[in-house]
Amino acid sequence: MTAPETTRPQRLSQGGSEGLRQVQSTFRPGRRRSKRVRPLAVLLQVILIGAALIMISPLIFGLLASVSPLDQILSRNGGILPRVWEWGTYAQAWTTANFSRYFLNSLIVTALVVVLDTLASSMTGYVLARRQLRGQRLLEGLYVGTLFVGLTTATLYPQYVIAEALGLDNLLGIALVQLAGIMLVHIFLIKAFVIGLGTEMEDAARVDGCGLFGTYWRVTFPLMRPILATTVILGFQASWNNYQVPLVFSLAAPDLRTLVVGVSALQYDAAEGMTPYNTVLAGANLALVPIVVIFVLLQRHFVRGWTEGSVKG
């Protein structure tokens, strides 16, 4: 006898059941394969951890020494951990060493540098990426040449003379001189980032009637967030840690000292026995706080902006 012929719905049902069994067998969790430990990867991790500990050890020592008694710091066998935690060194550095004024000066100068650098560098980088200007290659060559030659130290005193003649021997003058040396690298980073962006949205904005500035401000500038986070961190660090420019400007006006110059002045006072070393270390630690805070807040965008700004170009 011949087997009864299956109907089309039955064949579809059998095929569906078979397919379901195959899918279930495919995604059925089985035994996980044990990951083999690679000696090279373990060695690299050990090296990285060791290098990180070596780099962070001076910071840890400075933090502990800043709250240690002075006799323990000067003693050879004083130990690492403080015998008595003296938190008053930070209050002493903030008040008696005039760090409150220096801290405010650093905040004002750094804020001016970051804001002006963000606007000027993004505009210049956008124009260099989207427009072919006459003499653009020569201009970019001059930019790169100044980076390799390093004219900051050689031109610092002439810049101060010009700033003084223009009435800019103040915090704004310090910010402008720092800005001239900071924004060159940021211009090329932003230019490389903008080149990697598509032009479809900009073309649509121009069709709708946006000009060059309108397209930059409404379309491209919001897309620059990763690279701008990178330039903000780099600019903040460069301005906050700058020593030469505030030193030259504050020689005739000590009220213009920034926090870095104030810490350096404390070191000279400590060498002459006028200021305890633990107070100097407390002042140095205070100078590190804003940089750490800014990096923690923007670190997610920092790595992305740095890689995209360098690879896309």
Per-residue pLDDT tens over the stretch 232-262: 989 999 999 999 999 999 988 889 999 999 8
Residue 116 predicted with pLDDT over 90: yes
CA pair distance 55, 96, nearest whole angstrom: 31
Residue 312 predicted with pLDDT over 60: no
264 falls within a domain: yes
pLDDT at 171: 95
pLDDT tens, position by position, 40-72: 888 999 999 999 999 888 888 888 888 888 888
Residue 237 tokens, joined: 């660090």
Residue 107 predicted with pLDDT over 80: yes
pLDDT at 289: 87
Q: What is the mean pLDDT of residues 220-239?
A: 91
Q: What is the mean pLDDT of residues 112-131?
A: 93
Question: Are the CB atoms for 128 and 136 separated by under 8 Å?
Answer: yes
Name which of 305, 302, 255, 274 is nearest 100 in CA terms.
255
Q: What is the pTM of this model?
A: 0.75
CA pair distance 238, 235, nearest whole angstrom: 5
39 falls within a domain: no
DSSP letter at 275? S
108 falls within a domain: yes
For tokens 């279930």, what's the residue? 24
Structurally, the chain folds into a number of domains equal to 1
Handedness of CA 179, 181, 187, 193 (dihedral sign): negative
For tokens 């103040």, what's the residue? 170
Structural domain harbouring 239: 88-311
- Which CATH number characterizes residue 176's domain? 1.10.3720.10
pLDDT at 5: 53
pLDDT at 23: 46
pLDDT tens, position by position, 151-174: 566 778 888 899 999 999 999 999
Q: What is the mean pLDDT of residues 216-229?
A: 91
pLDDT at 20: 47
Residue with the larger pLDDT of the pair 24 and 196:
196
Query: ∠ CA 142-190-221 to the nearest 5 degrees?
Result: 135
For tokens 């990285």, what's the residue? 48
66 falls within a domain: no
279 falls within a domain: yes
Give burial (CB, 10 Å; 0-12/13-18/19+) of 120.
Answer: middle
> Of the given ranges (13-27, 75-89, 92-106), which has the lowest mean pLDDT?
13-27
209 falls within a domain: yes
The CA–CA distances, whole Å, from 112 to 8, 102, 159, 172, 230 equal: 78, 16, 18, 8, 17
pLDDT at 22: 53
